[in-house]
Structure 1
Amino acid sequence: MNLAARAEATEKVVARFRNRPFDWSDRATCIHLARAQMRALGHRPPAIPDFRSALGARKALERTGYASLEALLDSMLPRISPLSAWVGDLMLVPGKEPFGEALAINAGGALLMYHAEADGVANVVDAMVHVRAAWRL
């Protein structure tokens, strides 16, 4: 998929989440955003178990056999250097507990992600310096 098609697919995903505030019980979390992005770029990730809280999300992750979102994504996607990420690739940044990490979509110099100061997915310019890991989609 060329970069223009990746950008168009990414914008469609973000449009679905842009005005949906983060909500554990409404399937509006970073893992739901990441899964939608994976599907938009041609991947077939497994379904996300239904959970309604941070604790439920933690237990669902543990049932997968992985201790972190990072380990889960490492099992599904090729890891890349964050500096070589293309528009639409997934990025891992520090997050709130219970995970201490969050997923975002690379927007070419900024990250599309849930942020405490936004009502939905936001374009966060200064977040790139905090990227811990990245995966090619």
Structure 2
Amino acid sequence: MPFADRGLQDLSGSSSTSEGNDEEEPREGPSPPKKPVLSVESLFKQGYRSGPSVLLEQENKKQENWTWGKGGAHARESARTAADREATSRAANEGTEEAVKAGLQQAERLKRLRKKERIEEKRATKKALERDKKRLKRNEDNEA
């Protein structure tokens, strides 16, 4: 007998010989195999090294109600949360308005800054042109 088969027989606690039943009833066809009763302790004794498996968990004995509801719980929940939804909506709208206002202020500030930079750039260009004209005039006077 292979090692694995011996281990399963040891776990099941049953033997292949019938004990106490001298008379066996004649059966038609092969008998269905018996399911071995397994426990985590017996598995550990046989060398099992992992934790308990989901397959060894007991079935949930609690009866679940899978019938269709009439929507009463949902209606009660919506009535309770209508005020919450309204408050959340109001807060979101106020927050959006404040963000838009801050964005417009920032855009206006950037617009003014760009305008200042353009004016300063024009002044600098104008001064550079005047300097260049003076330099050209000096060069022409020195050459003449």
User: Does the TM-score normalized on the shorter chain lie above 0.5?
Assistant: no
- Give the structure with the higher percent helix: 2
Larger RCO, structure (CA 8 Å, separation 6 or more): 1
Greater strand share, structure number: 1
TM-score class, shorter-chain normalisation, is under 0.3
